[in-house]
């Protein structure tokens, strides 16, 4: 299976999971930190069960060579996830999507500097078109005032972009399955250490009307991460994979139109989707 197809599968699964995540976070009883811990542990456990059922064991690498990178991964993803869920609770999903889409730029720049895997002029133009498309389909109104949720979304974008660059190095040492498990479990443990009192809030998510949706969310998100890390392992240019992944921002909006009937600003969303599609085609030239 080509890395482009794997990125495509990851984008589709991620976009569907974001819609489900949005619905779950609307629950008044959901709290960002406890939700983040529960979500990440849920993804790790879901993929672990699948791996054990298919392969019978979970292969792990020699951590002596990569201990610092694993530590960096844990810290970056822990802080990024705290920022993401706090931002989603404090700001509109549309504003979060616009700001968080900048993670692609941070990931591409960092990867270009660290691994010399940069984009051609056409691919850079395509990546920018994708991001412009994300902004057009997501933004509802222009507000000059920046709130706390916006700042958290930008922090999450920077941290996530840097974490993705670190992923490029680590996936060479891991089986993709085990990397998904480690990549979600360790940050969740660190968040629990930082916010020990929030762990008790996890019991809220075991209610019958919530847990089944959460299992579905963790499965979709876990498979999306698995496809993406597999693509990152075999792609000759990680920057290109990051640029293509940005299309998920537009696909999420398109799916919201179809599944959630969110048809406001429809003409603008169509324009943004077309621009992003053209950008996606340019990144593959």
pLDDT greater than 70 at residue 26: no
pLDDT of residue 165: 93
pLDDT of residue 19: 81
Phi, psi of 107 (to 5 degrees): -65, -45
| Cβ partners under 8 Å of residue 113, min gap 6 | none
Give CA–CA dist 283/91, Å, rounded: 31
The tens digit of pLDDT for each residue in 34-69 reads 888 999 999 999 999 988 988 888 888 888 889 999
pLDDT greater than 70 at residue 196: yes
How confident is the model over 157-183, as a mean pLDDT?
92
Question: Structural domain boundaries of the chain?
Answer: 3-55+62-283
Task: Report the Cα 218 to chain-centroid distance in Å.
Answer: 12
C-alpha R_g of the chain: 18
pLDDT of residue 200: 85
How confident is the model over 98-115, as a mean pLDDT?
85
| pLDDT band (50, 70, 90) for residue 144 | low
Smallest CA-to-CA distance from 8 within 251, 275, 171 is with 251
How confident is the model over 122-132, as a mean pLDDT?
84
pLDDT greater than 80 at residue 130: yes
Q: How many residues make up the chain in this entry?
A: 285
Q: What is the pTM of this model?
A: 0.85
Give CA–CA dist 44/184, Å, rounded: 6
| Cβ partners under 8 Å of residue 218, min gap 6 | 39, 42, 43, 45, 46
The tens digit of pLDDT for each residue in 15-24 reads 888 888 777 7
pLDDT of residue 21: 76
């Amino acid at each position: 299976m080509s890395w482009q197809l794997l990125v495509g599968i990851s984008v589709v699964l991620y976009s569907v999971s974001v819609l489900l995540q949005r619905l779950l976070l609307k629950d008044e009883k959901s709290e960002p930190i406890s939700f983040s811990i529960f979500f990440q542990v849920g993804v790790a456990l879901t993929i672990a069960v699948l791996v054990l059922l298919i392969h019978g064991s979970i292969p792990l690498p020699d951590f002596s060579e990569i201990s610092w990178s694993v530590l960096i991964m844990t810290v970056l993803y822990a802080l990024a996830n705290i920022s993401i869920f706090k931002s989603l609770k404090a700001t509109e999903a549309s504003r979060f999507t616009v700001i968080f889409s900048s993670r692609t730029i941070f990931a591409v720049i960092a990867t270009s500097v660290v691994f010399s895997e940069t984009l051609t002029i056409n691919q850079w133009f395509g990546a920018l078109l994708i991001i412009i498309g994300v902004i057009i389909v997501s933004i509802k109104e222009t507000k000059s005032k920046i709130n706390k949720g916006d700042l958290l979304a930008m922090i999450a974008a920077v941290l996530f972009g840097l974490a993705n660059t670190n992923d490029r190095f680590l996936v060479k040492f891991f089986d993709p399955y085990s990397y998904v498990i480690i990549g979600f479990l360790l940050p969740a443990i660190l968040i629990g250490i930082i916010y020990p009192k929030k762990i008790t809030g996890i019991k809220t998510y075991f209610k019958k009307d919530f847990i089944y949706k959460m299992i579905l969310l963790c499965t979709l998100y876990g498979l999306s991460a698995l496809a993406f890390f597999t693509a990152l392992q075999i792609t000759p240019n990680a920057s290109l994979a990051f640029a293509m992944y940005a299309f998920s921002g537009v696909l999420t909006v398109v799916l919201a139109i179809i599944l959630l009937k969110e048809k406001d600003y429809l003409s603008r969303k169509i324009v943004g989707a077309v621009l992003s599609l053209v950008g996606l085609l340019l990144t593959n030239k």
